[in-house]
Structure 1
Amino acid sequence: MKQSKISALQLFYVMIGFEIGNTMIFGRGLKAGQDAWLTTLIGMLFGLILMFVYIKLTEYYPGDTLIQMIPKIIGKFLSFPLILIYICYFTLLASTACRDFGELIASTILVQTPIVIVIGSFMVLMIYCLRGGVEAFGRMGEVVFPIYILSLLVIWILVISSEPFNLKNMTPILGDGIKPVLEEVFPDVITFPFGETIIITMFFPALNKNKYIKLAGLSVILIGGIMLTINAILNIAVLGPEVYSKYQFPLLSATRIVSIADFLERFDVLIILMIVAGVFFKVGGWTYGAVVGISQLFKLKNQRSVFLGIGTIIIPFSLIYASNFVEFTGNLRIFITNYLHVPLQIVIPILLLCIAFIRKKLNSSNSS
């Protein structure tokens, strides 16, 4: 990959798209009913804490990705298996995002097209972009993100103007107490999407001005969390808490209800546009992280061929890790959340920060 840099604004575009990309179409905090929007808001607060952890690690080891920090913190012997786990983790999540995309596209607009064609075509375009380097990815963010936001704003306006829209559907607030909300916040909402922003540690070294690291990172969590909260409020106001909790894609369901003068209907195309744009950031972020991790672990200079290899792995893996979408959204997703998301997004980064803090204090005392 070219030794190029991206601006703080480009990093913001890429990461905000990564955070809210495919999350907008999924329902979060379903079991909390009318308080689902609160789960996102509280999750955002914990997300800010996690982002602070990622930023502090970068400040302790400026110019290093997460993969380069780990050996400096815990040593080469212990770091090798942990780095391999992170690389496999990034690759797995790229494949799950591809599967989400493929399932929705194949079940809505391309019902006669095999899902392998949908995913394969998307990955060819994805790898073509990423082989141009992080700068090309950042520039694509400048182009794609405004389209995503414009589509989202149009959908929100249509949803608000629809006849079923009623804010009374959100009452009573905390009618069942705070417990259902907290049970949804941890670990589900914290890890998806806020904890997934751990991938930003792979992008920080590419930032052209390091002084904007904290601003870019915290802005991603704050603005993304607010947007997801507004989206949840609108979905609940249209569908009602009972219906909202039953749909896997509530935004798509709410949009299908929209009808203007019984003439303009079926705004599904805007949702599909958002899906393509959102998955572009999600898959691109995970794939970039996996390729950079492999290149740094094995000290490879040419990363272009690594992109081809990872892309070749992601396509079949997205199809075989779950026999159907129902299986993935059930026990498999619970397994990924509890045994991969929680330790790799929360536990290990916090432990790494504690060790880095202690090492820095010891080095300071030895120097004095």
Structure 2
Amino acid sequence: MQQKERISSLQIAFMIMLFEIGSTPLFMLGGKAKHDSWLAMSFGSAAGLLLLGLLLWIQRRSPKQDLMAMLTLHFGRWPGSLIGGIYCLYFAYQSMRNVRDLGELTAMTMLPMTPMWITMLIFVLTALYAIWKGAEVVFRLPEILLPVMLSFYGIIILLLFIMGEPDFNRLTPVLDHGLKPVLAAALPDIVSFPFGQMIVFLMLWSLWDKPGVPTRQSLLAYGAVSLFLIFMNALNVAVLGEGIAGISQLPFLKTVRTLSSLKFIERLDILVTVQLFVGLLIKMMLFYYCAVKGITGLTRKPVKWWVFPVGGLIYAASFLERDYTQHLAIGLGPSLRIDTIFQVVLPMLLGLSILLRRGEHNLNRSVRKR
């Protein structure tokens, strides 16, 4: 029988923060709202907080079970297993997207002469090794990597302010086109990416080393990372302006390159790239781990049976998209629409099933008392 793995409150909080940061600063989310994109990010995080509340409520109903067990319990063995299997494919798909992001980013910034298939294979094998060693190893990584990443972000932000690059007047006038463009930019796109991706923690909260659910730690971590992402979104617009920030594929890299006049520091974009590598690797690894954990729960086979097949599937699927432009178009377009089903619709149906089951149980108990 497989030994039960346990993770601490700090590891959960750090993982939430690092997972949510991921590649998010790389893109100009809410760009359709132009200079109000930071407001779109704010509304997206508020809607994501409501979704997080639903996920935590679901977990509190079954604190010792993960998503796969909940689905089979509340939807029935076969329907629940089918939905669970589709969720595993969804997690693998999200992991694939991050593998491709890692490969493209490496080719664009650090190793343009190295074949992308080599760098992507290295990233997948790195994640495979950590998952093979277990959840406790995977969750130790944020304890080391998050402080380093935030320190790097802090240095870059400090240098930007020292050089006088941000002009927050570029964020005004606030809501000059009304609230509708802001809400259209936030819903469902920003909710789906990155805030709705908290759905993966229904696979992970049950690993907490204490009784119950780490509600407070999860909410604090979510709140902190939301404020950070809102600020980073505003910073990109304040430095580049809504025009350049809106059309740039990688606006944060362009923001950092405005520091090119510094004579004592060169190639700060490499520092940004390393930060993004860390975020993307953790995100890819966690989706990969959840896909493996999900299949393990459905088949009752050991984790090590599925690490290599799932890793191979993720690696092979990462080559399906023709180029990075198509990759981004799918990821920020049709993919976000599909995300809504897995991040919002199915959790709401699961929550409704729990309520109905609970109501039926209370009714039967009251009948027996009579």
The interval holding the TM-score normalised by the smaller chain is over 0.9
Structure 1 residues 210-219 or 346-355, which shifts more?
210-219
| Whole-Å separation in 2 of the counterparts to 1:305 and 1:333 | 33
| Whole-Å separation in 2 of the counterparts to 1:165 and 1:59 | 43
| Whole-Å separation in 2 of the counterparts to 1:146 and 1:204 | 22
Report the alpha carbon displacement of residue 305 of structure 1 after superposing the two structures with TM.
Answer: 3.1
Report the alpha carbon displacement of residue 12 of structure 1 after superposing the two structures with TM.
Answer: 1.1
CA offset digits 1:131-172 (Å, max 9, x no partner): 111111111111111111111111211222234321111111
Structure 1 residues 120-129 or 265-274, which shifts more?
265-274
Report the alpha carbon displacement of residue 343 of structure 1 after superposing the two structures with TM.
Answer: 0.8
Report the alpha carbon displacement of residue 212 of structure 1 after superposing the two structures with TM.
Answer: 5.1
* AA at the equivalent of 2:305: S
Report the alpha carbon displacement of residue 260 of structure 1 after superposing the two structures with TM.
Answer: 5.4
Query: What is the 5 A alignment of 1:174-185?
Result: 174-185=175-186
Query: What is the 5 A alignment of 1:229-244?
Result: 229-244=230-245
SS of residue matched to 1:131:
helix
Name the residue aligned to 2:297. 296
SS of residue matched to 2:247:
coil
Name the residue aligned to 2:314. 314
* AA at the equivalent of 2:363: S
| Whole-Å separation in 1 of the counterparts to 2:172 and 2:266 | 28
Name the residue aligned to 1:157. 158
| Whole-Å separation in 2 of the counterparts to 1:305 and 1:38 | 45
Gapped regions of structure 2 (runs ≥ 5): none
Report the alpha carbon displacement of residue 211 of structure 1 after superposing the two structures with TM.
Answer: 4.2
| Whole-Å separation in 2 of the counterparts to 1:239 and 1:227 | 18
SS of residue matched to 1:172:
coil
Name the residue aligned to 1:34. 35
| Whole-Å separation in 2 of the counterparts to 1:251 and 1:204 | 32
* AA at the equivalent of 1:229: I
CA contact (8 A) 2:59 2:202 kept: yes
Quickly say closer, same or farther: Cα 1:240–1:2, change in 2 above 3 A: farther
- TM-score when normalising by structure 2: 0.95
Name the residue aligned to 2:328. 329
- TM-score when normalising by structure 1: 0.96
Query: What is the 5 A alignment of 1:1-368?
Result: 2-211=3-212, 213-259=214-260, 261-300=262-301, 302-320=302-320, 322-331=321-330, 333-338=332-337, 340-368=338-366
| Whole-Å separation in 1 of the counterparts to 2:350 and 2:155 | 43
| Whole-Å separation in 1 of the counterparts to 2:261 and 2:332 | 37
CA offset digits 1:302-334 (Å, max 9, x no partner): 2123112211111111111x1111112224642
CA contact (8 A) 1:8 1:212 kept: no
CA offset digits 1:10-30 (Å, max 9, x no partner): 011112111111112121111
Report the alpha carbon displacement of residue 3 of structure 1 after superposing the two structures with TM.
Answer: 2.1
SS of residue matched to 1:319:
coil
Quickly say closer, same or farther: Cα 1:331–1:313, change in 2 above 3 A: closer
* AA at the equivalent of 2:48: G
CA offset digits 1:87-127 (Å, max 9, x no partner): 10000000001111111111111100111111101111111
Report the alpha carbon displacement of residue 365 of structure 1 after superposing the two structures with TM.
Answer: 2.2
CA offset digits 1:21-51 (Å, max 9, x no partner): 1112121111111111111111111111111
| Whole-Å separation in 2 of the counterparts to 1:108 and 1:305 | 36
* AA at the equivalent of 2:159: L
CA contact (8 A) 1:87 1:290 kept: yes
* AA at the equivalent of 1:44: S
* AA at the equivalent of 1:354: L
Q: Percent identity?
A: 28
CA contact (8 A) 1:65 1:205 kept: yes
- Aligned pair count? 365
Report the alpha carbon displacement of residue 221 of structure 1 after superposing the two structures with TM.
Answer: 2.2
Quickly say closer, same or farther: Cα 1:349–1:295, change in 2 above 3 A: same
